[in-house]
Chains A and B, each alone.
Chain A
Amino acid sequence: MRRLPAPGAVWSRFPRDAEGTLDRVAGGALRLGASPSPPWVQSDGGASLGVEDALARSFAETIAAELDRRRLGGAASLLSALEHRQLDLVIAGLDASSPWKSRVHLTRPYFEEIFTVADAEGAPVASIDGERVLTPPASALSARVEQHGGVAVRDGEANAAGPAALRVVPHWRLAGGSETPPLVLERVRHVLAAPNGENAFIMTLETFLARQSGAVADMLRERA
């Protein structure tokens, strides 16, 4: 893991933080807010297993910081705390279209997830015209399925016609690698959140994330 120069090193940083976040956390404590959102943020007992959990751990290592996990509730409370500078970093399975984007800084996407439809073997299908497709409950994806001519069937719903042969899956769960599938239901661009105005901290974070998309794909494959 590449380490950045220790804080207080000779090179004078430009841009600087408005509130000195990077100077404080590098070599010190990084206040992290995490809200469960598998597979991005999840814990099992004491261990944090999510993709974003791993990213936060790696990042903290690169700036010699110790992660200080704060329990503050759901994504909304975390982001509000971030806005008021009570946290330094928030991981919550956020995506780039979050309405918080003017109040906190959402990083450039570290991973783009493409939702598509796969058959029982996990191979992507090109068309769902007239087909029944199993769709995650409480999700906008059912509208997308309908848009593409399919019939959205929710898990657990009484279906007299039996189980659906097709299901909505993210592209990284497809058998045989994750190139762009033929049918794109939705693209979700995953981001982390940092406080506004902390330009040095953000630059360090963004530079770190820019190198991670390969690692993220690997982590997801382990969970597929």
Chain B
Amino acid sequence: MKIRAEATLPDEMKRRLAKARRLQWWMLGLMTGVVVMFYFVLGGSQAMKTAWVEDILSLVPPIAFLIAVRVEQRPPDEKFPFGQRRSISIAYLVSSVALLGMGAFLIVDAGSKLVSGDHPTIGVVELFGVPLWLGWLMILALAISIVPPVILGRKMAPLAKELHDKSLHAGAEMAKADWMTGAGAAVGIVGIGFGLWWADAAAALLISLDIVRDGGANTLRAINDLSDQTPTEVEQERPDPVLEKLAKALDAETWIESYELQLREEGRFLTGVVFVSPTPGQVDRLADMSDLAERLGGLDWRLYDLALAPRPPDPEDRARRERG
């Protein structure tokens, strides 16, 4: 098998990737701390338990990202002639499915508590000899837990866009939205304080619905990504602007009568084939193809291993061009 050349990141992007890795390590560390803290104040609240599970889940994207980033940098070899740039997309899929699965479980858990009419007990702890309602400690823990993901999420979002990393982007969006989970759980606990036993399970249910929505949407995106969907932007489903860049460059080549792009995403890179039909009488320009391939590849750091393939001219295409 022909082994591909390595994909390289420009220095600028290498720095950004290093920064993203640092932020993910911070996320991992701080969220582990939050998970441990929550464990001590869990008590009987379903909303608290749901927030705790969501925080455990929030460890999955950083872990998946950190592993994937190491794997993706392995150069192509005999076993993997295409390299392993897809690892990022795989990590994305793994994280999304984990989120979806857990969210579904939590919906059932909270739902069953509502149906069975379970009255949660939040009792009393002794802090320095003073009896204190555990609910206050829970609310405090929730307030603290909101801070790291919101701050880290805001820092990760611009990096995700620059690195064209969909999994980092998804992780950043979910982290930013984490304040809703904390606030929702706190509202549930305050509800219990007012004697509304159902407020807690209801809050847990809403939080789980949000998790399922996130998990579902991202699973779909990850599947599309791995299914070689037409390349799209990181944030929205609009076509990737790099395609436009390529089209413009190809239009400028006078010896090309018509062309067709067939590109797909591999992690953060774009790769694929450009089919080219030379204008009549310009068939000897085929020798220029490798030169063209290099130039096209240089248009954007994300273009990797573009292959140019000749194809016979399409009579319909020609007729259309002659008509003007």
- Residues in chain A within 8 A of chain B (CB atoms): 14-20, 105, 107-108, 195-199, 202-203, 206-207, 210
| Contact present for A16 and B119 (CB under 8 Å) | no
B200 to chain A: closest CB distance in Å? 10
* Chief secondary structure at chain B's binding surface: loop
What chain A residues lie within 8 Å of B119 (beta carbons)?
Answer: 18-19, 195-198
> Is A197 touching B120 in the complex (CB atoms < 8 A)?
yes
Which chain A residues border B124 with CB–CB below 8 Å?
108, 202-203, 206-207, 210
Classify the interface of chain A: helix, strand, loop or mixed: loop
The interface residues of chain A lying within 8 Å CB-to-CB of B128 are none
Q: Are B195 and A210 in contact (CB under 8 A)?
A: no
Report which of A16, A196, A210 forms a contact with B193, defined as CB distance below 8 A.
A16
Q: Are B135 and A15 neighbours in the complex by a CB distance under 8 Å?
A: yes
- A207 contact set on B, CB distance < 8 A: 124, 131
The answer to the question of B122 belonging to the interface, with a C-beta cut-off of 8 Å to chain A, is: yes
Given A196-B118, A203-B123, A210 and B194 touching (CB < 8 A)? no
Q: How far is the CB of A135 from chain B (nearest CB, A)?
A: 35
**Could you list 17 A-B pairs, sorted by A, with CB under 8 Å?**
A15-B122, A15-B135, A15-B192, A18-B192, A18-B195, A20-B195, A105-B123, A195-B119, A196-B44, A196-B121, A199-B121, A199-B123, A199-B133, A202-B123, A206-B123, A206-B124, A206-B131
Report the separation of the CA atoms of residues A105 and B118 in the bound assembly, to the nearest whole angstrom.
12
Contacts A14-B133, A16-B194, A199-B122 supplied; 6 other A-B pairs, CB < 8 Å: A20-B195, A108-B123, A197-B120, A197-B121, A202-B121, A210-B124
Sort chain B's interface into a size bin: 10 to 19
The residue on A at minimum CB distance from B196 is A18
> Which chain A residue lies CB-closest to B44?
A196
Query: Chain B contacts of A105 at CB under 8 A?
Result: 121, 123
Instruction: Evaluate whether A15 and B131 lie within 8 angstroms (CB atoms) in the complex, with A199-B121, A203-B124 already known.
Output: no
- Smallest CB-CB separation from A202: which chain B residue? B123
A15 CA to B123 CA, complexed, in Å: 9
Q: Which residues of A contact B192 (CB under 8 A)?
A: 15, 18, 197, 199
Asked if B133 and A210 sit within 8 Å, CB to CB, the answer is no
Does B126 sit within 8 A of A, measured CB to CB? yes
The yes or no answer to B197 lying at the interface (CB within 8 A) is yes
List of A residues within 8 angstroms of B197 by Cβ: 18, 197
Q: In the complex, what distance in Å separates the CA atom of A103 from the CA atom of B118?
A: 9
> Chain A residues with Cβ under 8 A from B121's Cβ?
105, 196-199, 202
6 A-B pairs with the lowest CB-CB distances in the bound complex, closest first = A197-B119, A16-B195, A15-B193, A18-B197, A206-B124, A105-B121
